[in-house]
Chain A
């Protein structure tokens, strides 16, 4: 049924189609293109990591697991799409395409025209801020598919607005009102289990959708308002009592929204982009209903697109400033992500390149540990470990971050602590949800532990993901090649010229297997990855050269003289033909002078070690009156790359 007087008394813009002017779409499209490019350029590593810290499985069990909580469908869709960040540009393209759809729908639904169309870009900008503020939340966010959830939620809302738009265009007032109320009931009742709080928000949006004819009395809007409040208040309660047995009552109105909480603390600032989404909708509604009238009042003209443009551009600029302010920028975070990725690729030189990149901040312990790991893997730790900046910068987050929950799993894995890597994958899988990354570590740990069947389980799960098949197939080959995962057999095969591990697997697994040559014991890391590794290795003792070198490195970093000497001696015994690396010599030379427990007079130290030590001590005499902090600065240019500097002037390296 067509409206009889659709032209005469229509308070809304008359625009049909998507905004009545393609030129006006250049602005939102340009914003989306720039947003996409910026995302790819600045956040590729975060986006890639996000898909590793994501899981989507094409199984009924996975669907049911998410649907135990209201809003599970949003997460299900979002998890599926997050996988496409495997290629950051592809995931970003999908994200931008969805944002464009949202803009087009909003313009049509709210009958925006002219420069007001530009306001549709406010919503994607708010959604962009939801993504770019992520930072370390990528590890800590419990909402599955969190990068895509707001976009899917808003898309759901805009799709739901199609109905009131059609109804208002084609039906008279009374049936339109009843259909709208019915539609609200359907959205709330049928949408809540699948879309959670987004369905509640959508119900409000439909209720607030501008009617074709403004109400002349207060009674109609009041009834709709009360009805809406009742709907969104009561329906979640009904679901709580009947279906959702695993959701806390106080959370039912926030289902499928990110919690932005960690431990006892709630971080309101991270909710601002979500409030911005609401604000964007309000502005679009206001522009739709009152935009032209406002301009008319301001300019005394029936139509003035310049004024509208100025207002729209001003609002967009504010939004851009907001996105810029919300964008999480932290050089150490970016470095950690990049190093993490490089280690996944076993690209150790790249890890060192990143460690060398100049930065305005000192490195975090995680960066230092990545660097040390890379040097160890390249066999250069003894000669280069102090050539890089030392530091213990706290990660830039307002909560107590634990390395075990960030890069610690990867570090444990490569240091041969398979059970501890497995443990933290399991702990975080339980706490934050299962992730592809966890399965990848668990599968490889299981292979190292010769737990073939559980390795198969994890590999099969990885294979079911959209981009995991190749990875899973690669490692699944080892399930039929058990000998390859035994150090002696793998090395014997290499010696015989018939390697049973591929080149890549040899590079990945053999050093780890060497580091696993220690006896079992009961232990606990108390969530302190670095301290645990230092202690457990420094107190270890073995006949494996790589293992023994690791014990020596850890004793060196711990500055523990008593632990150092036996490990130094054993390393020298196990490795008699190779030139003793620089820093092991420096430590021995220094300790020999500090304490007279070991006679170093017969040791063939390099002349450069002796000279550096002498210069260091002379300079120390010259700087006698300086404080330790002043000395740290003064010594750095000449001696910052020596063990002597590390021993005397690098202190209080707090690890997490």
Chain B
């Protein structure tokens, strides 16, 4: 898709970028073109050390040029990219095809070699010219959404100067600003911005928050831009983590009281915790906020609307104050005991009410904690991030991505630990039985009981109907208390850790890394996933893209290509919340800045 220039601002920005771009291109082209492959060389069985690691990756037909840097030390370098009989050669340790070359390469590959592009790196070192073990790219005809949006933020703790919300064309290297905080900040009045989100990939329907100075939620909806204050007397905070309804002008948010504290020794450095969190529903048309959940012992977070609009998926931890110290301090002391399960609530569009919550995945039973449920556009796959504790997994090195096949869950029959099976076992495993026993002994309503109740309510909406709740509509479902919020002894932790994953969930080992793998977003065609990972250096989050095969597996993820292949090594900010978009946001940062300078309009509170 061609980049659209629809405003004078974009035109000028393009010109500005163009000047630097041309200057750089001339330099790059002069550095990258013209060398010839050595006639004599020896074979080296080792793969070249290249950054980013693009060896044997699968890429979309419309992706920007794949550029890489050769880390192997040598006097000279030649790289040959070949498709069938055609070849392109590049000199130097930075291999950077031009956009035109890259287009030819991809087209030929799709036409002649079923997408296979061969890459050979020749290095001239003490042993003379050597050909390193070749690798390949595979181009597939499934395209990727042309744009992504993300927040660029230093992995800092409390400071947030130079915080920007950016968009990047994936077909080129063009990056532009959606909004940056410095346009409305000064020494005295700092401004944070976060949680951008579009409705169904539509850049015309975007929301994000600004905090502190001139704070409010900015919502752009088909040309109408408004700034609202979603905080009401009856809600914990303004809206935080958003999810748009796929079609209607409705947004569900979590409301959070969030704090952070710092590890004295651990490399994870920061622990971000909610002390309270609920869910609210915001209707843009009526400008009304309606609380959905409001239980102080449940920490509800990260809602996500299913593509059919019938369910809200979210995560929740159960935590009851145990001692007399303040809640913040207690949670800090027991931060490893706060674990989140995956739930959903049915949503009835007509009455705009939510059903009781249903447990979808009892991670706590496995001594694990779930966050960020995201469903593929076809509604079949749910990807989430799992770590051992907490909800802010970007700081948890054990965080990995998991995939749930929603078609394999008897939906409406909310799955519970009793239904878990260990591999090869037809009925309950011993561990699952042990978990059952534990429930039965507990004072709270165990999952098993709730799940049994839920089985009789296929869609969950009935519970929210006026009749079911004694003539008055309710938005609050029954509280499910399972293994959550329990300070466990080491024996029970060990036991819980042995409980296998349910059959319909798998850890996506083919894309996970030893470091953090967290925020993820599906492309609109469901064939690509972009996710945040700290695998490169453990500290700075970088976006990785992976292809989702039709058999439900993923290909090797590749780092977002940049014009300068070493860009991410030099860059001191993290890519936060990468999300696909069907095109660029056309509202200029200055226009957003003007809206943000205005006072936020209040919302009406609607209690059902």
| Chain A residues near B (Cβ < 8 Å) | 57, 59-62, 64, 69, 240-243, 245-251, 259, 261-264, 417-420, 422-423, 426-431, 434, 449-451, 453-454, 456-457, 460-461, 516, 518-524, 536
Give the distance to chain A from B282, nearest Cβ to Cβ, in Å. 28
Q: Decide: B265 and A419 in contact? CB cutoff 8 A.
A: yes
Quick check: A242 and B9 within 8 Å, CB to CB?
yes
Q: How far is the CB of A264 from chain B (nearest CB, A)?
A: 5
How far apart sit A427 and B155, CA to CA, in the bound complex (Å)? 9
B180, A430: Cβ atoms closer than 8 Å: no
List of A residues within 8 angstroms of B504 by Cβ: none
Sampled A-B contacts (12; CB under 8 Å): A61-B570, A245-B177, A245-B183, A246-B164, A248-B183, A262-B187, A427-B159, A430-B161, A453-B536, A519-B265, A522-B264, A522-B335
Asked if B9 and A241 sit within 8 Å, CB to CB, the answer is yes
Whether A460 contacts B262 in the complex (CB less than 8 A), given A246-B177, A453-B537, comes out as no
Give the interface segment out of B266-274, B300-308, B340-348: B266-274
CA distance A245 to B537 in the complex (A): 30
Question: In whole angstroms, how far apart are the Cα atoms of A69 and B157 in the complex?
Answer: 24
Enumerate chain B interface residues (CB-CB to A < 8 A). Answer: 8-9, 12-13, 16, 20, 24, 154-162, 164, 177, 180, 182-188, 261-267, 269, 271, 332, 335, 536-540, 564, 567, 569-572, 588-590
B159 pairs with A431, CB closer than 8 A = yes
Q: Which residues of A contact B589 (CB under 8 A)?
A: 245-246
Given contacts A242-B13, A245-B589, 9 further A-B contacts (CB under 8 A): A64-B20, A242-B12, A243-B16, A245-B588, A419-B264, A431-B161, A453-B536, A457-B540, A522-B271
Contacts of A69 in B (CB 8 A): 182
Expressed in whole angstroms, the minimum distance between the Cβ of B32 and any Cβ of chain A is 15
Rounded to whole angstroms, the CA-CA distance of A418 and B265 in the bound complex is 7
In the complex with contacts A242-B12, A242-B13, A426-B155, A259-B187 CB distance below 8 A? yes
**A430, A449, A460: which contacts B267 (Cβ < 8 A)?**
A449
Judge whether A461 and B570 touch: CB under 8 Å. yes
Contacts of A57 in B (CB 8 A): 570
Asked if A536 meets B188 with Cβ closer than 8 Å, knowing A241-B590, A246-B182, A248-B182, the reply is no
Chain B residue with Cβ nearest A527 = B158
Contact check, A454 vs B538: say whether CB atoms are below 8 A apart.
yes
Whether A460 pairs with B12 at a CB distance below 8 angstroms is: no
Whether A61 pairs with B564 at a CB distance below 8 angstroms is: yes
Closest to A536 in B: B264
Please, how many angstroms separate the alpha-carbon atoms of A451 and B267 in the complex?
Answer: 8
Contacts of A417 in B (CB 8 A): 264
A520 touches B569 (CB 8 A): no
Tell whether, in the assembled complex, residue B187 and residue A261 are in contact, meaning their CB atoms are under 8 Å apart: yes
Taking a contact as CB atoms under 8 Å apart, the answer to whether A59 and B570 are in contact is yes
4 A-B pairs with least C-beta separation? A520-B265, A242-B12, A453-B537, A522-B261
* A residues less than 8 Å from B180 (CB atoms): 245-246
* A425 nearest CB neighbor, chain B only: B156
CB distance from A234 to the nearest CB of B (A): 15
Q: Is the CB of A426 within 8 A of B265?
A: no
> Roughly how many angstroms separate A261 CA and B570 CA in the complex, as a whole number?
30
A518 to B265, CA, bound (A): 8
Q: Which B residues lie within 8 Å of A449 (CB)? A: 267
Contact A454 B539 (CB under 8 A): yes
Verify A523–B261 contact, CB threshold 8 A: yes
The verdict on A423 contacting B157 (CB below 8 Å), with A64-B20, A261-B187 known, is yes
Tally inter-chain residue pairs, CB-CB below 8 A. 137
B156 touching A430 by the CB < 8 A rule?
yes
A430 touches B159 (CB 8 A): yes
Residue of B nearest to A62 (CB): B570
Cα A544 to Cα B12 in complex, Å, equals: 63
**Pair A242/B269 contact, Cβ less than 8 Å:** no
On whether the beta carbons of A263 and B188 are closer than 8 Å, the reply is yes
CB-nearest residue of chain B relative to A517?
A: B265
B269 contact from A262, A422, A460, Cβ within 8 A? A422
**Contact (Cβ within 8 A) A242 B8:** yes
- CB-nearest residue of chain B relative to A434? B572
| Contact indicator B20/A451 (Cβ below 8 Å) | no
Decide if B262 touches A523 in the complex (CB within 8 Å): yes
Instruction: List the B side residues contacting A536 at CB < 8 Å.
Output: 264
Whether the Cβ atoms of A61 and B264 lie closer than 8 Å is no
Question: Are A426's CB and B9's CB within 8 A?
Answer: no
Residues of B within 8 A of A457 (CB): 537, 539-540, 569
Partner of B162, one of A246, A516, A522: A246
In angstroms, Cα B159 to Cα A251, docked, is: 21
Distance in angstroms from B208 CB to nearest chain A CB is 15
Q: How far is the CB of B70 from chain A (nearest CB, A)?
A: 15
For the complex, give the distance between the alpha carbons of A419 and B265 in Å: 6
Complex Cα spacing A431 to B588, Å: 25
Instruction: Find chain A residues with CB under 8 A from B588 CB.
Output: 245
Give chain A residues whose Cβ lies under 8 Å from the Cβ of B188. 261, 263-264
Instruction: Report yes or no: B182 in contact with A420, Cβ–Cβ below 8 A.
Output: no
The answer for the CA separation of A460 and B571 in the assembled complex, in Å, is 12
Asked, given contacts A430-B161, A516-B265, whether A245 binds B590 with beta carbons under 8 Å apart, the answer is: yes
Residues of B within 8 A of A247 (CB): 182-183
On whether the beta carbons of A423 and B262 are closer than 8 Å, the reply is yes
Among the listed B157, B185, B264, which residue makes an inter-chain contact with A518, where contact means beta carbons less than 8 Å apart? B264
- Whether A423 and B269, one on each chain, are in contact in the complex, defined by CB atoms closer than 8 angstroms, is yes
* Chain A residues with CB below 8 A from B183, complex form: 245-249
User: When the two chains form their complex, are residues A61 and B12 in contact, meaning their CB atoms are under 8 A apart?
Assistant: no
Q: Are B12 and A430 in contact (CB under 8 A)?
A: no
B158 proximity list for chain A (CB < 8 A):
427
Alpha-carbon separation in the docked complex, A460 to B51 (Å) = 14
**Of A242, A263, A519, which one neighbours B187 at CB under 8 angstroms?**
A263
Chain B nearest CB from A166 CB (Å) reads 28
On chain B, the residues within 8 Å of A428 by CB distance are: 159
* A522–B536 CA distance with the chains assembled, in angstroms: 26
Q: Which residue of A is nearest B265, CB measured?
A: A520
Measured between beta carbons, the chain B residues less than 8 angstroms from A431 are 159, 161
Chain B residues with CB under 8 A of A418: 265
Expressed in whole angstroms, the Cα–Cα distance for A431 and B159 within the complex equals: 6
B155 contacts which chain A residues (CB < 8 A)? 426
Query: Contact at B590–A460, with CB atoms within 8 Å?
Result: no
Q: Are B262 and A524 in contact (CB under 8 A)?
A: yes
A426 lies within 8 A of B12 (CB): no
Nearest opposing residue in chain B for A57, CB measure: B570
A427 surroundings in chain B (CB, below 8 A): 156-159
Q: A607–B180 Cα gap in the complex (Å)?
A: 69
Closest residue to B261 on the A side, CB-wise? A522
Compute how far the CA of A532 lies from the CA of B187 in the bound complex, rounded to whole angstroms: 27
A487 to chain B, nearest CB (A): 13
CB <8 Å contact, B157 and A426: yes
A248 partner, pick from B24, B186, B261, B267, beta carbons under 8 A: B186
CA distance A631 to B4 in the complex (A): 80
Contact indicator B8/A419 (Cβ below 8 Å): no
Shortest C-beta distance, A230 to chain B (Å), equals: 20
Residues of B within 8 A of A456 (CB): 537
By beta carbon, the residue of chain B nearest A266 is B187
Contacts of A434 in B (CB 8 A): 572
User: By the criterion CB–CB under 8 Å, are B182 and A429 in contact?
Assistant: no
B273's closest neighbor in chain A, by CB?
Answer: A522
A245-B589, A246-B164, A520-B265 are contacts. A429–B154 as well, Cβ < 8 Å?
yes
Q: Do the beta carbons of B262 and A419 come within 8 Å of each other?
A: yes
Q: Cα distance A431–B181 when bound, in Å?
A: 13
- Separation in Å of the B181 CB from the closest CB of chain A? 8
Shortest Cβ gap from B35 to chain A (Å):
22
| Closest CB in chain B relative to A538 CB, distance in Å | 14
A246 to B590, CA, bound (A): 9
Complex contacts, A520 vs chain B, CB 8 Å: 263-266
**Chain B residues closer than 8 Å to A59, beta-carbon distance:** 564, 570
Residue of A nearest to B572 (CB): A434
Known: A454-B540, A523-B261. A251 touches B269 (CB 8 A): no
